[in-house]
């Protein structure tokens, strides 16, 4: 049976929690597994947040270092990814405040990395380029909420924690972003646009 081959979400969560416990006890291999599982997703999230590729790599690295140093403080009520994305989001905000300028690099490498992320967004069942449309109709925070929900498969509660917002804020802004996206897609379709 096809469904039997896929790990149950609960079993996967238990396996990850066990990996976090072993890493907190000093097992570097366990932490390396956590890094391998979450690093690319975290980097993609930071690039999607408007972070230049170089800055995204630095923030990702800093978030992983902070997570490693504070593993004993991890609250197992949350998924590890939620905790890690929260650390990265706070680091991003801190850097943006300290620089007092947008974290978008306009060099060729950044542009190429951003295009690669846009092209890759089709792997989650979304048509290629749909994230560009979402970005054009949703504010930065609503866009981040949509990305975390659809691309990172986070719950509303987890998104609220990562973004430092209430669950109601997340629900309302995702609803508004979906309505705006629907209207924009209908407008584009009427104009002959094909995703």
pLDDT tens for the chain, 195 residues: list them. 344 444 446 677 778 888 889 998 988 899 999 999 999 999 999 988 877 888 889 999 999 999 999 998 888 888 899 999 999 999 998 888 877 544 444 344 334 434 444 444 444 444 457 888 888 888 888 999 999 998 888 899 999 999 999 999 999 999 999 999 888 888 888 888 765
* Helix ranges, 49-166 (H): 53-69, 80-99, 108-120, 130-137, 140-150, 156-163
Q: CATH classification of 125-195, choosing from 1.10.1740.10, 1.20.1340.10, 1.10.10.10, 3.60.15.10?
A: 1.10.10.10
pLDDT given at position 95 = 85
pLDDT given at position 192 = 81
Residue 134 Cα distances to 23, 82, 143, 144, angstroms? 37, 22, 7, 10
Domain with CATH 1.10.10.10 in the chain: 125-195
Domain 1-120 has CATH 1.10.1740.10: yes
pLDDT given at position 189 = 83
* Helix ranges, 53-79 (H): 53-69
The answer for residues whose C-beta is within 8 angstroms of residue 193's C-beta and 6 or more apart is none
User: How many CB atoms are closer than 10 A to CB 158?
Assistant: 22
pLDDT given at position 124 = 46
DSSP 166: -
Distance CA 161, CA 154 (A): 10
Tokens for 98, please give them.
């300290």
pLDDT given at position 88 = 93
Distance CA 21, CA 30 (A): 9
Domain with CATH 1.10.1740.10 in the chain: 1-120
Tokens for 14, please give them.
């238990």
């Amino acid at each position: 049976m096809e469904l039997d081959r896929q790990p149950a979400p609960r079993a996967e969560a238990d396996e990850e929690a066990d990996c976090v416990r072993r890493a907190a006890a000093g097992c570097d291999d366990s932490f390396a597994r956590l890094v391998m599982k979450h690093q690319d997703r975290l980097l993609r999230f930071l690039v999607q947040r408007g972070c230049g590729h170089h800055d995204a790599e630095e923030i990702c690295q800093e978030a992983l270092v902070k997570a490693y140093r504070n593993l004993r403080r991890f609250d197992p009520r949350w998924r590890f990814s939620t905790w890690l994305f929260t650390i990265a989001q706070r680091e991003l905000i801190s850097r943006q405040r300290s620089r007092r300028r947008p974290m978008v690099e306009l060099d060729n490498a950044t542009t190429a990395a951003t295009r690669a992320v846009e092209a890759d967004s089709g792997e989650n069942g979304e048509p290629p380029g749909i994230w560009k449309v979402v970005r054009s109709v949703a504010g930065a925070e609503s866009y981040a909420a949509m990305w975390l929900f659809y691309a990172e498969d986070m719950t509303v509660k987890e998104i609220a924690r990562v973004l430092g917002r209430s669950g109601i804020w997340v629900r309302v802004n995702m609803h508004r972003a979906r309505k705006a996206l629907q209207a924009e897609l209908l407008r584009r379709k009427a104009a002959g646009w094909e995703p």
